[in-house]
A and B are shown apart, each in its own frame.
Chain A
């Protein structure tokens, strides 16, 4: 059974840092591109970042470029999102998602809540 389990969310002050993890199981993690998608409270889904299967290529939404870093450890079947210089507008539930085919997210984690507040 495919599972994606996020962790690492919590309350952080503006300007602070947080690292999210997404533990994958039930599939060959190293074969798939992975993404982070976020959803602010009461708002819609917003694409954040993606990484290719071997970690050699990444891309970011303009709103997080230069502040967030996506990475993966295929030996540990884990996806990461390092978030620096956090702002109030980064407050959201962060989901990791597997991209089965182009723009086709077939499995999602349950999400982890990040709250940026003083």
Chain B
């Protein structure tokens, strides 16, 4: 039950794109197409942004997209906006368990 590995931080200017990686193993990320991503602003509960690797819930802007290759999933934010500055966490199914990533702080320069 080790946490999935994410970069500690990424940054970009408004309008740019940033990509956050989420690396696990064949027992979690690589073994299933059940990866989700969450946005968390300070003092708030997490918000679902992506599920099933690349699906967006209604209401989430289409500049958020997800993908997966092997044991690594990725979240891309295109056309970065000030309100995207937050912490982002991936989560994967792992059989009886769920496992979250270590978290990435996105800074909008």
Contact = CB atoms under 8 A, between A and B. Distances in A.
A44 B89 contact: yes
B48 A59 contact: no
Interface string B14-37: 000000000000000000101110
A103 B38 contact: no
Interface residues of A, number: 23
Chain B at the A interface: mostly helix, strand, loop or mixed? strand
B109 to A, nearest CB: 23
A1 interface: no
A103 B3 contact: no
A1 B8 CA distance: 35
Interface string A19-31: 0000000000000
B97 A105 contact: no
Interface residues of B, number: 28
Interface string A68-89: 0000000000000000000000
B93 A105 contact: no
A108 B34 CA distance: 18
Contacts, number: 70
A82 to B, nearest CB: 19
Interface in B50-109: 51-52, 57, 87, 89, 91-93, 96-103
B45 A101 contact: no
B71 to A, nearest CB: 15
Nearest to A65: B1
Interface of B: 1, 3, 32, 34-36, 38, 40, 45-48, 51-52, 57, 87, 89, 91-93, 96-103
Interface of A: 35, 37, 44-47, 50, 59, 61-63, 95, 100-106, 108-111
Given A47-B97, A103-B36, 20 more contacts: A35-B98, A37-B46, A44-B101, A45-B46, A46-B3, A47-B99, A47-B100, A61-B97, A63-B1, A95-B45, A102-B34, A102-B93, A103-B93, A104-B36, A104-B51, A106-B48, A106-B51, A106-B57, A108-B47, A109-B45
